[in-house]
Amino acid sequence: MTGVTEYAGYLPGLSADDVEWRTLEFERGNRRLEVAVPVLSVDQLDELAARVREASRAYLKTLTVSRIIEIIDTAVARLLDRDDPYRRKAEELLPLVTGYDREMVRLGLTEYLKTFRRAELAKFVAEDFANPAMLDDFQPVPKGGFAKAIGPDLLIHIWAGNVPGLPLWSLISGLLVKAGAIGKVPSAEPLFAGWFAALLAEIDPRLADCLAVVWWQGGDEARESAVLQQADLVLAYGGNDSLASIRARTPITTRCLAYGHKISFGLVSRDALDTGKAWGVAHRAAYDVIRYDQQGCYSPHAFFVERGGKVSPREFSKYVANELACFERKFPRRTLSIEEAGGVAAWRHDEEMKASSASGRDIMGDAAGTWSTVYTEEVEDLAPSGLNRTIKIIGVDDLSDTIPHIAPYKAYLQTVGVAASPETLFRLSEKLAAAGVTRICALGNMTAPEAGWHHDGRFNLLDLVTLTEIEQSAERAADAFARYAD
C-alpha cells in the first residue's frame, strides 16, 4: 500500500486547493502511509475562527443538550460498527500511524468509544450539572434566582500524544456545552479528530461549520498566537514547556486550562497476594503496562508491593515479568523510534548500574529489549520508568510507607491502580487523596477511565462554562414594571 495519502484535518469553508499541505510519513515494517496535514495561513486561520464562532452562535447554541447527545451517540454508534467506513479506516490506519498493535487498537477503540454512548454521555453531564437543563435555559437555583450555563463560542483544543482517539474527550466535552471548536491535532496522531468532525457534519449538516480540525508544527508561534488570540477558552495538553508557551501566548482575559504530563502507579496489598490470586493480579498489572506501551498519563511507572502475603514482592515481580513476556507474544510492542529505544536503554543502563553496586535488586527482560522489569527490595521514590513496557516493582513493608515516596511529586500524580481488600482500599485512599492522587481504580483498569471521570480531578464540563445568573433582586424589581403591576 505504498503511496497512499490520507488527508488529515477538517476545514469547513475551505477547499483542499486553497490550502497548503505538508506530508507526514509513517512507516511500520514494509507498510507506509503519507498523511497530508493542512498548514493554514494566519488569514485562513482567522477566517476559520470567525466562521466557527458564528456557526456556534447561530446553530450549536440553539440545540438542546439532549439533541447534542443524540448526535454524538449516532456518530459513536457508527464508529462502534465494524462495517462503517470510518471505523474501517480507523482500524486500518491508526495502527500504522501510532505503531500500536492492530488488535490492541481495535479493542482499545471499542472499549473507549463505549464510554461515549447516550447513557454514558447523560451520566457525564449529570456528573457536573445537578440540573443539566441549565445548559439549555435559565433554571431556578437553590440560593434563589435563576442561572444558565454558557459554553464558549470558540473553544481551542491543542492536543498532544499518540494514544489513538484521545482528542475525543475534550472534543465531546466542548460539544456538550455547545462550544464551537477548533482543534489542533498532534503530528503523532493527526487523523482521528478530523474524522470525527466530518462524521458529525454528515449526521447533522448544520453542524458543519461548528467545528474545525487543523494542524501546525508544534510551537509555530505565528499560527499558534493567531488562533489563541481568537479563543474564548483554551484547552491544552502536552509537556510543561509547551504548555508554558501556550499559556504565555493566550490573552490574559482568556482562560487557559492546561493538562500536563502525569505519572501513575499501582499498589498491591498483601491481601491480594495469596497463591490463588497473585497470578491474576500480576496479569492485570502487566496489562496496564502494555496498554499503549505506557504512553498514557494513566499508565503505571511502578508498582509498590507489600510484604507479608503468601507471594513475596520479589516473586510477584517474576509473575509480572512472565506476564509481560506472554503479552509480548499476543500484543507485540510497537516498533520504537531510536529516540525512544535510547530512552529505554538509558533507563535500563541506570538500573543495571544500580543493581551492580547494591544488593536486593533484580533486572529481568528479554534479549530484544521489548520489556524489562526491575525489582528493588528497598523502598525508593516514585520516578518515571523508561516507558514502552519498562516497569519497576518496589517491595514495601506496609503500603502506607509509600506515601512519603510519592508526596514530593504531588503536582504530577494522577492514577493509582489498587489491588487490596475494601478496608485497605479506603484506608489508603484517604492518604492517596491527600498526597494529590486524583483517580483510584482497579489494577487492570488504569488505562480505561470510566465514563464521566474527572480528568486530573477537574470538572470536565463545569470548567468550560460560565454562569449567567439572574439574581432575585432583578426578578423582584421586574415585577414592579410588569404590565399588570398596580
Partner 1 sequence: MGVTEAQIIDRLLAFIADEGASDDAFNAMALELFAYQFENNQPYRRFCQQRERTVRTVRDWRDIPAVPISAFKELTLSCCAPEDAARVFMTSGTTRDGVRGKSFHPTLDVYDASMIANFRQRVMPDRERIRMGILFPGEDVMPNSSLAHYLALALREFGTDDSHYLVDEDGLDTMRVVVELAHAEQTGEPYALLGASYSFVQLMDALKGMDEVGFLPPGSRIMDTGGFKGQSRDMALDDFYRQLSSTFGVERRHCINMYGMTELSTQFYDSGNEVCPSVKSGPHWIRTRVVNPLTNEELPRGEKGVLAHCDLAHFNVVSTILTEDAGVATEDGFLLLGRADGAAAQGCSMAVEEFLKAAGG
Residues lying near partner 1 in the complex (CB under 8 A) are found at 160-163, 166, 188, 237-240, 259, 261-264, 292, 294-297, 299, 301, 338-350, 352-354, 356-357, 367-369, 383-384, 386-387, 408-409, 411-412
Q: Look up residue 142 and give its amino acid.
A: P
Q: Quick one: 156 or 413, whose CB is closer to partner 1?
A: 413
Provide, rounded to whole angstroms, the least separation between the CB of residue 90 and partner 1: 18
CB contact at 8 A, 194 and 185? yes
Rounded CA separation 264/304 (Å): 12
Rounded CA separation 443/416 (Å): 8
Provide, rounded to whole angstroms, the least separation between the CB of residue 28 and partner 1: 14
Q: Quick one: how far is CA 23 from the chain centroid?
A: 26
Q: Quick one: 48 or 344, whose CB is closer to partner 1?
A: 344
Q: Quick one: 124 or 237, whose CB is closer to partner 1?
A: 237
Rounded CA separation 274/296 (Å): 30
Q: Quick one: 274 or 350, whose CB is closer to partner 1?
A: 350
Q: Quick one: 81 or 366, whose CB is closer to partner 1?
A: 366
Provide, rounded to whole angstroms, the least separation between the CB of residue 276 and partner 1: 32
Q: Quick one: 337 or 472, whose CB is closer to partner 1?
A: 337
Provide, rounded to whole angstroms, the least separation between the CB of residue 277 and partner 1: 28
> Would the CA dihedral through 323, 324, 326, 330 be positive or negative?
positive
CB contact at 8 A, 156 and 182? yes
Distances (CA, A) of 133 to 76, 129, 138, 475: 23, 8, 8, 20
Least Cα distance to 155 among 465, 486, 389 occurs for 465
With residue 91 as reference, give the H or E element that holds it: helix 85-98
Provide, rounded to whole angstroms, the least separation between the CB of residue 45 and partner 1: 23
Provide, rounded to whole angstroms, the least separation between the CB of residue 128 and partner 1: 22
Q: Quick one: 150 or 257, whose CB is closer to partner 1?
A: 257
The SS3 assignment for 71 reads: helix
Provide, rounded to whole angstroms, the least separation between the CB of residue 240 and partner 1: 6
Rounded CA separation 215/327 (Å): 35
